[in-house]
Structure 1
Amino acid sequence: MDWISITFWLIGTLIVVLGPLILIHELGHYVFAKLAGVRVEEFGFGFPPRLFKLWYGKGYLEIGSTRVIIPPSLRRPSGLEVGAWVDAITQKQDDGSYLLRRLTVLDPATDDLTLKRELVDDGVRMRGEVTLLEPGTLYSLNWLPLGAFVRMTGEDDPSDPRSLAAQPKRWRVAILAAGAVLNIIVAILLSISVYTSGSPEKWAMMRRWP
């Protein structure tokens, strides 16, 4: 076996063995971060550089004082941030909430920044400043196929109430430990599965082996 074959064999082994371990580990962080109310900005399959964005989780924004739900299927335009002016087409739901259908980020230099709310053919048009933004978790696919990663808000900055650093100590410990704990749980479950699915005769022979 030449060195090229050995190199590809080692890379393949790393991907097959370490990939699932890292993915499970990061899932532990992700699940507990969600339970604690920490903002998860991105969950990436593989490691950067990013190949493409898969989808967003459900989010919301506030235009002035009106909250508008951002559905997972809606593409987030560049420049969408708190303080930006937007022109939005929304649809009022039966429960009184507004669901975003289309969104355009306005350019202060060229676009009209007059506050506006009016009925249009396909819903309610709103124009105004974004005062609050929760875009939802970005799920991405990345070039290096080795596990996954979780990007949370504010690991060292407690100024944001939804940052990791702003959570009580018990939640921070739980989030950080969840990855290793989930790895251990999965290892135990796999061991039990392998043991119970094996041939009883073979296990009996192994136990009698001196």
Structure 2
Amino acid sequence: MDWVNIIFWLIGTLIVVLGPIILIHELGHFFAAKLVGVRVEEFGLGFPPRILHLWRERGYLQVNDTRIAIPNAMALPPDLQVGGQVAVLARRGEDNSFTLRRIRAIQDSERVVTESPTAPPDIRLRGELKVLEPGTLYSLNLLPIGAFVRMTGEEDPSDPRSLSAQPKRSRIGVLAAGAAVNILAAALILSSAYLSGVPEHTLVQVTEVQPGSAAEAAGLLANDVIIEVSGKRLEDGL
């Protein structure tokens, strides 16, 4: 069964040693992407498969010229597409802002549909979905090794908030941020360890007993450690 213990030891080492390194690395990518305006679709603790949606940042969408906030816990239909037609139920706030209550994509065959009227402060909107920013999803995943960051489009620059649409210096900054944060974290840990030092414990140990000496008469032997003198305990051997 030794091989079973070896496997568990290796898995434990990966989780304990590599996990924090990967987490810090991905946090570097995450904060750099947020800083330069790249859309972060998901930040996950651990690696998929996904176990749990922890929370989602407050996002927004725009239908025609109306901006509507998306509540944190709201799940959006998967068939929504920017440029497509949607039907929206929203609630108007006291500050004239709108909060999404329901949304669905409109198929061509549904363009002319009579819907029940709404009572204030709810309103219904139909039109083109011009902007969709659902907010970053934070998730908990099955494999407990570090974390991951999922950003919009590393290859397609058509989305202005994709990584590939950013200036070259921003792309380099996002990609290099992970390694830079790892180096910074290592420097901070080593500096803290150096400044705090390593505790030293000294011992009073007998290396040799001369024949006929008082030490021999007292029964001391070579390699004995003295921990108490006249009933007073020595602290750290002093």
Which residue does the alignment assign to 2:160?
A: 161
TM-score by length of 2: 0.74
Instruction: Pick which of 60-69 and 17-26 moved more.
Output: 60-69
Give the C-alpha shift of residue 22 in structure 1: 0.5
Tell me the alpha carbon deviations over residues 172-202 of structure 1, each in whole angstroms, 9 at most, x when there is no partner. Answer: 1111110011011111111222233345657
Q: Secondary structure at the match of 2:158?
A: coil
State the one-letter code of the partner of 2:37.
G
Structure 1 gap segments, 5+ residues each: 203-210
Give the C-alpha shift of residue 86 in structure 1. 3.8
Higher relative contact order (CA 8 A, sep 6+): 1
1:3-22 alpha-carbon deviations (Å, 9 max, x no partner): 10110111011011111111
User: CA offsets, 1:7-51, max 9 Å, x none?
Assistant: 011101101111111111011011011111111111111112222
| Aligned residue number for residue 56 of structure 1 | 56
Which AA in structure 2 matches 1:36? V
Query: Within the alignment, does 1:182 sit opposite 2:165 as a pair?
Result: no
Alpha-carbon distance in structure 2 between the residues aligned to 1:193 and 1:113: 68
Distance 2:97 2:196 in 1: 51
The offset of 1:95, in angstroms, is 3.8
Q: Which amino acid aligns with 2:168?
A: K
Within a 5 Å distance, the mapping from 1:38-187 to structure 2 comes to 38-100=38-100, 102-106=101-105, 108=107, 113-114=112-113, 119-121=118-120, 123-187=122-186
SS at match of 1:4: helix
Distance in structure 1 (CA, Å) of the matches to 2:165 and 2:5: 49
Identity of aligned residues (%): 56
After the TM superposition, which parts of structure 1 deviate over 4 Å for at least 4 consecutive aligned residues?
Answer: 109-119, 199-202
Q: Which residue is 1:36 aligned to?
A: 36
Task: Give the counterpart letter for 1:43 in structure 2.
Answer: F
TM-score by length of 1: 0.83
1:138–1:113 distance in 2 versus 1, CA, 3 Å = farther
Q: Whole-Å Cα distance in 1 between the matches of residues 184 and 5 of structure 2?
A: 35
- Cα distance in 2 for residues equivalent to 1:49 and 1:141: 9
Read off the aligned partner of 2:41 and give its amino acid letter: E
Partners in 2 of 1:94 and 1:122 — Cα distance?
9
Tell me the CA shift for residue 71 of structure 1: 2.3
Name 1:11's counterpart in structure 2. Answer: 11
Mind listing any 5+ residue stretches in structure 2 that lack a counterpart? Answer: 202-238
3-state secondary structure, aligned to 1:53 = strand
In the alignment, is the contact (CA less than 8 A) between 2:89 and 2:103 conserved in 1?
no
Residues 1:183 and 1:56: Cα distance change in structure 2 (over 3 Å): same
What is the SS of the residue equivalent to 1:120? coil
Give 1:82 deviation, angstroms.
2.1
Which whole-Å CA distance do the structure 2 matches of 1:117 and 1:184 have between them? Answer: 60
What is the alpha-carbon root mean square deviation over aligned residues?
Answer: 2.6
Higher percent of residues as helix: 1
Which structure has more strand as a fraction of its residues? 1
- The alignment covers a number of residue pairs equal to 201
